[in-house]
Amino acid sequence: MADVNRYYLINLQLFADDGTGEKTEKATPRRREEARKKGQVFKSADLNSAVILMAGTIAILATFPAMVSNLGDFTRLYILDRTLVDFDSGYAFFLLLETMKIIAKIVLPILMVTFLAALMISYLQVGFVMSSEALTPKLERLNPIEGFKRIFSKRALVELAKSLMKIGVTGYIVYTVIKKNLFILPRFIDMELTAAMSVLGSIIVEVAFKIGIVFIIIGVLDYIFQWSEYEKSIMMSKYEVKQEYKQTEGDPLIKSKQRQIQRQASMQRMMAEVPKADVVITNPTHFAVALQYQADVMEAPQVIAKGQDYLAFKIREIAQAHDVTIVENPPLARTLFYTADIGDLVPEDLYQAVAEVLAFVYKQKKKAF
């Protein structure tokens, strides 16, 4: 009953440590692993978009000369050099296939680069995560009160600020680039198709490149914000940390009780060996060491029990009850207590002293008979 009361007292103390349940402690590795298994990871969607935009822009810039050349060859070969007489349904179908081929030839490298960029930036942010937790239906998501809280939450305000910033930056960049190249636009009428495409493409790439740089800066800032919010979301209270420690390492009260039971069982086994002893050497009150010697099976006398203070008293008491000889030899008792454990043979340097004690015991037993 006392142990039960103590257990509840400890739990009340744990609750008292953090009665408000305020989460003030950093998440433990176990908490982080559990959150990851549930799919709770942090990443910046803006950083993903910015990297994909930059990768696509660089891919377009790298393949742009070949793109213009291929389109120019296609136009001259299949459109400009053909007359209306030759343009029948068969040629239209053939032209459709060739158009699909040229589009694939131009677009596929860009798509491949952006796809790899998306995989890379996602992996760098969250690693490899497989979880179906996010797909599990949750009724609390239908709660209108919680929905309003999310709409007017800190995260929603940050997302609104980012959206306004991106719209403003994008508009400003497009305006400045077009303003800088405004004098070129009327000349498109007199330009060849390939030249017009080259100029227009360079303008688009310039806009995309500048926007991409700004978006990457926004993405990095958003990544820091997402990390901060994630760390706050998985923080733990002091009580949760202690509860987790109890689950992983074991309840300290239970472990203490187990150790106590083990010590009691060990003591009982040791006391059960005392009646088998040939002699108990004492201090006479502070130490007691019980020795057993069987010449046919033992190389030297063996320590089968030892104790200090109360245990020494119990060993002497059991020895007296079973007519085991008790010999007072303080120096030998202390030396045996500190140099030999239960089950050990007597150290060689004590053979002589122990032999003299055993000889005395055997002599006393012979006189008794």
Buried b (16+ CB within 10 A) or exposed e, 175-188: eebeeeeeeeeeee
Residues 63 and 190 in one domain: yes
Residues 320 and 193 in one domain: no
| Bigger pLDDT: 16 vs 151 | 151
DSSP alpha helix (H) spans, 189-237: 193-233
Per-residue pLDDT for 134 more than 60?
no
Instruction: Tell me which range, 88-97, 249-258, 299-308, is most confidently predicted by mean pLDDT.
Output: 299-308
Q: Which two tokens stand for residue 160?
A: 């609104």
Domain that residue 349 falls in: 272-368
Per-residue pLDDT for 9 more than 50?
no
Mean pLDDT of the chain: 78
Helices vs strands, H then E, count in the chain: 12, 4
Contact 362, 369 (CB under 8 A): no
Instruction: Determine which of 223-232, 242-251, 304-313 has the lowest per-residue pLDDT on average.
Output: 242-251
What pLDDT, on a 0 to 100 scale, did the predictor assign at position 1? 45
Residue 178 lies in a domain: yes
What pLDDT, on a 0 to 100 scale, did the predictor assign at position 133? 58
Question: pLDDT by residue (tens digit) across 21-39?
Answer: 677 788 877 787 877 777 7
Residue 283 to residue 185: CA distance in whole angstroms: 111
What pLDDT, on a 0 to 100 scale, did the predictor assign at position 189? 78
The four Cα atoms 163, 165, 171, 176 give a dihedral, to 10 degrees, of: -160
What pLDDT, on a 0 to 100 scale, did the predictor assign at position 112? 93
Of 207, 235, 263, the residue that ends a domain is: 235
- Phi, then psi, of 298 in degrees rounded to 5: -115, 140
| Bigger pLDDT: 130 vs 34 | 34
Residues 276 and 363 in one domain: yes
Q: What is the mean pLDDT of residues 146-153?
A: 62
| C-alpha separations of 222 from 44, 116, 126, 159, 183 in Å | 6, 22, 15, 9, 38
Q: What is the mean pLDDT of residues 72-79?
A: 72
What pLDDT, on a 0 to 100 scale, did the predictor assign at position 142? 61
Quick one: CA dihedral 299, 304, 308, 312, positive or negative? negative
Question: pLDDT by residue (tens digit) across 263-281?
Answer: 777 778 888 888 888 888 8
**242 pLDDT tier (thresholds 50, 70, 90):** confident
CA angle centred on 203, ends 201 and 206, rounded to 5°:
110
Residues 170 and 278 in one domain: no
236: β partners: 25
Residues 276 and 332 in one domain: yes
Residue 358 lies in a domain: yes
Residues 66 and 165 in one domain: yes
3-state SS of 28-61 is: CHHHHHHHHHCCCCCCCHHHHHHHHHHHHHHHHH
DSSP 187: G
Residues 363 and 290 in one domain: yes
Residues 72 and 210 in one domain: yes
CATH number at residue 342: 3.40.1690.10
Residues 225 and 281 in one domain: no
Contact 59, 113 (CB under 8 A): yes
Q: What is the mean pLDDT of residues 121-136?
A: 70
Per-residue pLDDT for 217 more than 60?
yes
Question: pLDDT by residue (tens digit) across 304-339?
Answer: 888 888 888 888 888 888 888 888 888 888 888 888
Of 209, 235, 261, the residue that ends a domain is: 235
Residue 337 lies in a domain: yes
Of 189, 206, 235, the residue that ends a domain is: 235
Residues 207 and 329 in one domain: no
How many domains does the structure of the chain reveal?
A: 2
